[in-house]
Every structure is written in structure tokens, then in C-alpha cells.
Copies of this chain bind each other. A is one copy, B any other.
């Protein structure tokens, strides 16, 4: 067989997508809905992209769905190096942010510069919640784990002794900012669980 020449550009892109496979081994604080195992950050990313496509009409502000999908596709890639930090856990926010910045530099840096710069920019925009697209994307990233906990009788809320007030300040504020109607849809079940269990 002929040995075709593979450009360094394509080879670099292939190394990037191979490296990304490791996101499937980054486990989160929440489980999948049947409670059988911890969710990983790759399948979580897929799921909230489906939320975004399905629920785009319920964004608080108009969004460009193709940009939201790209943000969510990339948003957790840094966890390949930095791991996931459950929102109700205790961690040093500044240290985590520094780790994630270094991870973004390394991981997006695997790509040719023509591509690493725009992908890094869209990740930065997400991180900073710097646009309606990012605000909607972040609201879904916060809302989806709520449903994992509701589906498993409290799930990680029990692990971390979370209160209804903490849900409001750590999660509700951000979900409402990006997708107020989605928060309204989830609220009755959240209220009922905390009323019965705390």
C-alpha cells in the first residue's frame, strides 16, 4: 500500500482528539439518573449539549445555538488535567482556576495555532460568562446535575449535606440568569425534596 503523507496540521489535530479520550475517565460528584455509577465529564458534556439544542427557546436572552454547542463541547476539556471539582465540595477556587488555565494552555495548545486560538477564546468566553451564549451554556451546566440528584433521592446533596439555601445561592442564581423557565420547571421538585429531607 502507498504511504500517504499526513500533514503536521492533521497529525496535531489527531493528537488533540486522542488526548480528549481521557475526559471519559474524569468522574463527577453526581451519578447518572439510575444511580448505578458516577457520571463522567464526557457524557455530561454530551447531555448538556442535548439540553441546549432542546431548550434553546427557554434561554433568558437570545442565543446563537451553534456557539452554545461549541462551548459545551469544549467546556470541561481542561478536566483532563485539572479534574472535576464538585460544586458542593470544598476547594481553593483560585488554585483550581490557575490549574484550569494551565490545562487550557496545554490542551488547546496541542492544536495548530490557527485552531487553538479560537477554541481557547470560546472556552475563555464560557469561563467568564462573557456573553448571552456563555450565560445560557453555564445555566445548563448547573441545571443538569440537579436532575441527577432529583433522580437519585438527593444523590450528592446527601454526600455534601447541602441545604436548600445553598442550592439557591450556588446553583439557582446562575440557572435563573441563563434559563429562568428551566429553573421554574425544576423548582417544585427541588423544594419538595428539601422539605421532606432536611
Contact = CB atoms under 8 A, between A and B. Distances in A.
Interface of A: 1, 3-4, 6-7, 10-11, 13-14, 16-18, 20-25, 32-34, 36, 39-40, 42-43, 45-47, 49-51, 53-55, 58, 65-66, 69-70, 73-74, 111, 115, 119, 147, 151, 181-182, 184-185, 187-188, 191
B50 A184 contact: no
Contacts of A46: 23, 42-43, 45-46, 49, 73
A6 B185 CA distance: 6
A55 B25 contact: no
Contacts of A45: 46
Given A43-B43, A58-B10, A24 B32 contact: yes
Given A18-B33, A33-B18, A185 B70 contact: no
A10 B181 contact: yes
Nearest to A32: B24
Contacts of A55: 10, 13-14, 17
Contact of A39 (B24, B49, B187): B24
B17 A21 contact: no
B32 A25 contact: yes
Given A4-B187, A66-B69, A36 B25 contact: yes
